[in-house]
Amino acid sequence: MTLTPYNAGWIEVICGSMFSGKTEELIRRLRRAEIAQLPVVIFKPKVDNRFSKNFIVSHNKTKMKSIIIENVENIISQSKKYDVIGIDEAQFFDKTIVTISKELAKNNKRVIIAGLDSDYQGLPFGPMPDLMCEAEYVDKLRAICIQCGNPASYSQRISSDLGKVVLGELDKYEAKCRNCFKEPKIN
C-alpha cells in the first residue's frame, strides 16, 4: 500500500522512453487532481513545440492547457496559487529544476514531473536522474519494442541528426528494448 503524504508536499516522477505514455500519465494525474477540486497548473519548456504552443499533448492527442517556461525559476512565482504543479519534458530543463521542485514540495505542493530518463544514446538525460533521486514516488513506464514486441526502455534515433536534442516523433525515433537497441556511433 502506498501512503500519500498528508499536509505536506512531495515530488512524483514519471519517466521512461519515448512512446511509453509519460505525458498521458501526467495528464491523467492532473485531471484526477482537478476532479478533487485542487488548483492545478502545468508547465513545459519553450523548446517543446512539437504539437502545440499552449498545450501539452500526448502521442494519443490527449491535451491539457500549459504554460511555456523559458526560465525555470519562473515556475515558483507562477505557481503560488496552485496546489498541484505539473512539469512536462523535464529533461529539457537545466538542473535548476531540481532545486525548484524541492522548494515547491517544501511549500506543500504536489509536484508531478514527466520526462525522458535517457537520451538517444541510452545515457541519463539532463536533470532526470537527480529528480528521480529526490522524488518520493518514481514510475518508470515502458513502451513496446517496435522490433520484437518486448517492453522497451530505449529511444532509438533513426534519423541522421547529431544533436543531443532533436525533437521528433515516429519520423526520428523508435522504441526499442535492451536487446534490440543499437548504441549510435558518435564521431
- Annotated catalytic residues are 89
Distance CA 120, CA 159 (A): 11
* First-last CA distance in the chain: 48
Sheet bearing 40-45, strands edge to edge? 67-69, 40-45, 84-87, 110-116, 10-16, 137-141
Indicate the residue type of 36.
A
Distance CA 149, CA 162 (A): 27
3-state secondary structure of 90: helix
Hey, what's the cell of 2? Answer: 502506498
22 secondary structure, DSSP code? H
CA-CA-CA-CA torsion sign (60, 55, 51, 103)? negative
Distances (CA, A) of 155 to 97, 102, 172: 23, 28, 10
